Structure 1
Amino acid sequence: MQHSAANSPHAASRRRVAFVLLPGFSLLAHASALEPLQMANQLSGQMLYHTVTLSMDSEPVRSGAQLSVLAQHALDNPLGPLDLLLVCAPTPLPYALPAKLNEWLRGHLGRGVMLGGLAGGSEVLARCGLLEGYRATLPWQRFDAFAQAYPQVTLSQQLFEIDRDRLSCAGGTAAMDMMLTLIGQHHGARLAEQVSEQFVCDRIRLADERQHVPLRSRLGHAPQSLVDAVTLMEANIEEPLSTLELAEHLGISRRQLERLFKKYLQAVPSRYYLDLRLQEARKQLRESDRAVGDIAFATGFSSGAHFSTAYRHHFGMTPREERLG
């Protein structure tokens, strides 16, 4: 979910952005955050973003891909004021954080600096107590452990979060969507779209889009029959099966199936199935030019009116309003 950004939109002033690289960081996440800023400079013909790369010391930082990056400065070098500070770290974090890093990060509080985490960088901020009272996200593999370790943080399963003066993302290419969203807030949607086009992105994914979590990971230790039921649902979006038909396919009773859904998913099968279909409809509305009526039928709705009503109740807007953005 996207909240208000700290900076006013379309401001033309140069913003200074620092990337702190910790050993094992993701090259993909780092590049996905850095390259859009450089491209925004190039397309605008202005130095909209001045970027700098930092490390704990003056030594090269080895990434998770075993390639080393030579940072421009060490943490203790004087940098001057920053607008945005992004921590790039692996997930999970396999080491304790140096006290110097904790002190240095906390030293930016109250200075108007937005703090962010890329991939494991979110966990770095949480360990330093810098995400308490904020919404934040990180790679899905760490959801459960993070929620237990940092109950003061409102954990999100979205691709990225921009909550006041804190940013976080799932890592990988989600970092690009987050930075494109920031560029749009700072300098307008058109520049963000132009940057996106340069990287051959079909579209800029929004902050309210969830990370794709593999089915078995989503369901944890749920019985195989529940996994099979959800698999059947996902394979039959256009022609939905009834709860009774699902149970018959699985060789269990309808009541047994309903109990499984209630215990592990806190929903009745029909409601969970409807959510799957509506999520697929939303994806098609955002990513394709198919007619709304065609999408309705492709996701198992018997009429456009039924589809529109269900969509509005679920997402708070009609399919046509969704498409208009």
Structure 2
Amino acid sequence: MTRHIGVVALPGFSLLAQACATEPMQVANRLAGQTLYRLSMFAVDERPVVSASGQMLMPQSIVGQSSEPLDMLMVCAPVPLVASVPQPLLEWLQHLSTTRVVLAGIGGGTEVLACAGVLEGYRVTLPWPGFAAFADEFPGIRLSRQLFEIDRERLSCGGGTAAMDMMMTLIGSQHGNELAQQISEYFVLERIRMGDEPQEVPMSTRLRHAPQSLTDALALMEANIEEPLTTHELSEHLGISRRQLERLFKKFLQVVPSRYYLSLRLQEARRLLRESDRSAGDIALYTGFSSAAHFSTAYRNHFGMTPREERLR
């Protein structure tokens, strides 16, 4: 069965995110030797749509005027939106939401779907710079900070290359994981990232106004994964009191140092479980756990599954 996929772009959209969302489908067609996906490009009028990089996308159709039924419509838009969403697009999205058409937000496309009122009851995400404004404007929508979300008939992602991971996951669910893996290899990707992986907000952004002692503390933690330092040892290295270090973590990261350090080590353990063939015991020692049992308990408490279950996924 060939799926008809519509792509609508708004001025200022990310050409990278749009390509990451559409190219996996074209490669799927090539590798499968048949047309699994057929793309149609839409815009609000007949003029070319200019991307953030100044390149133009020529539409084939006008929104709301598809000559054939769609299986999915992807909305590509900038973050934040640079203009109000055209009324014809809002009305089309509202109409499509009453059918079985899947709606996907790429980049700021999630905000467009929210403006159309078609995200109530769904879990969604969008690029991290838009988190705060989106949460304020749409408090009733379940916003996650994950790489991408596939919740029934609604898809959303963190923009950029996250769109590629989302689409390869979708292709895998529709045509098998083997094809999805072949697509990943075609793009010379090490692996397909999973949707439950968090978006990495740059530490320079999170700690823009933080004192140097806090950034130094984070650097010490990252350099001592295998042999973790105690909070007291960290404060001694930095030349500040333990209480002062704890206050800095609470103020800028909303967590105590020991909890942040444990999360850092467990995130590294998760990466190794997913990307390497090292045994869980070796990974436990590498990330500073005294025993496999201690590692398994901490991992389950943090991620809701054991290291063995993680690897089986």
User: Aligned pair in 2 of structure 1 residues 318, 150: CA closer, same or farther (>3 Å)?
Assistant: same
Q: Which runs of 5+ in 1 are unaligned?
A: 1-12
Where does residue 182 of structure 1 map in the other structure?
170
Matches within 5 A, 1:117-266: 117-219=105-207, 221-266=209-254
Report if the CA contact (8 A) 2:64-2:89 is conserved.
no
Deviations 1:265-313 (A, max 9, x none): 3432212211110011101111122232322222112233322222122
Report if the CA contact (8 A) 1:18-1:86 is conserved.
yes
TM-score (norm 1): 0.91
Where does residue 258 of structure 2 map in the other structure?
270
Matched AA of 2:247: R
Where does residue 300 of structure 2 map in the other structure?
312
Q: CA RMSD in A?
A: 1.7
Q: Among all aligned residue pairs of Structure 1 and Structure 2, give the percentage whose two residues are the same amino acid.
A: 63
Q: Which residue among 17, 29, 32 is the counterpart of 2:20? A: 32
Higher relative contact order (CA 8 A, sep 6+): 1
Where does residue 5 of structure 1 map in the other structure?
none
Report if the CA contact (8 A) 1:23-1:90 is conserved.
yes
Matches within 5 A, 1:45-56: 45-56=33-44
Corresponding residue pairs, total? 313
Where does residue 21 of structure 1 map in the other structure?
9
1:119 positional shift: 0.6
Matched AA of 1:122: T
TM-score (norm 2): 0.94
Q: Structure 1: how far apart are the matches of 2:211 and 2:154?
A: 38
Q: Structure 1: how far apart are the matches of 2:207 and 2:126?
A: 19
Point out the more displaced range, 13-22 or 306-315.
306-315
Report if the CA contact (8 A) 1:216-1:227 is conserved.
no
1:294 aligns with 2:268: no
Report if the CA contact (8 A) 1:26-1:64 is conserved.
yes
Q: Structure 2: how far apart are the matches of 1:82 and 1:88?
A: 16
Q: Which runs of 5+ in 2 are unaligned?
A: none
Q: Which residue among 83, 93, 102 is the counterpart of 2:90? A: 102
